Chains A and B, each alone.
Chain A
């Protein structure tokens, strides 16, 4: 039995859906950031797998995956520092308590 690209597509899709569910349903800002990390992770798995199956010689998808790793590392760092700055100001990291702009 050989593992095809379809198996990786299914795995990445499932991981992305779980991350999307977490990102949209959680009320803690940190949990939302962790779920975003899950989604970015799913995309990276797909990039690495597709490159291994389709362009093994030039490894194009691997470079995409490396740059995507860089961007999501920067994103999680900025996101967490934003959560910290927000926590200093309003003393909470709960997203549904941030309702200053709510009419």
Chain B
């Protein structure tokens, strides 16, 4: 069983969960984007606690670095006035009840599931991760690069067209 620091876990979990709740509850879209950034950074911390250093680094670069900036850009581009960022509270109680029921159901079902013990204890390291990525997982890796290329071209095609649309 990996040695996860309980204090770090509790702090980071509280940060992630609190940030997620604030993302959904805040009325200002720009504030929501910054709360989302906080959740993504706390998630990178959780990956570090699980000794997944490479994924934590990717999370920081791709999400905290690129995605949150992209979200902020689109928010700024689609707001005509500064006041538009503050929205009326659009929360629906049926959806809240449904999400809560789903969460309780998942917690109830997974509570009884046995956690299989690992065949052998091992400390994961980045070198082994990189080696496996380019040997055993090389086909998904190439497909992922294809997906990124298609998404890049698609995003430019969609967003880059002018008024002739």
Contacts and interface: CB of A to CB of B under 8 A. Distances in A.
B71 A34 contact: yes
Interface residues of B, number: 85
Interface of A: 1-7, 9-11, 13-22, 24-28, 30-31, 33-35, 37-38, 41, 44-45, 48-49, 52-59, 62-63, 65-67, 69-71, 73-78, 80-85, 87-89, 93
Interface of B: 1-6, 9, 13, 16-17, 20-21, 23-24, 29, 32-33, 36, 39-40, 43, 46-47, 50-52, 54-55, 58-59, 62-63, 66-67, 70-71, 73-75, 77-78, 87, 90-92, 95-96, 98-100, 102-103, 106-107, 110-111, 115-116, 118-124, 128-129, 132-133, 137, 140, 144, 147-148, 150-152, 154-156, 158-159, 161, 163, 165
5 contacts: A17-B99, A17-B103, A49-B50, A77-B151, A85-B159
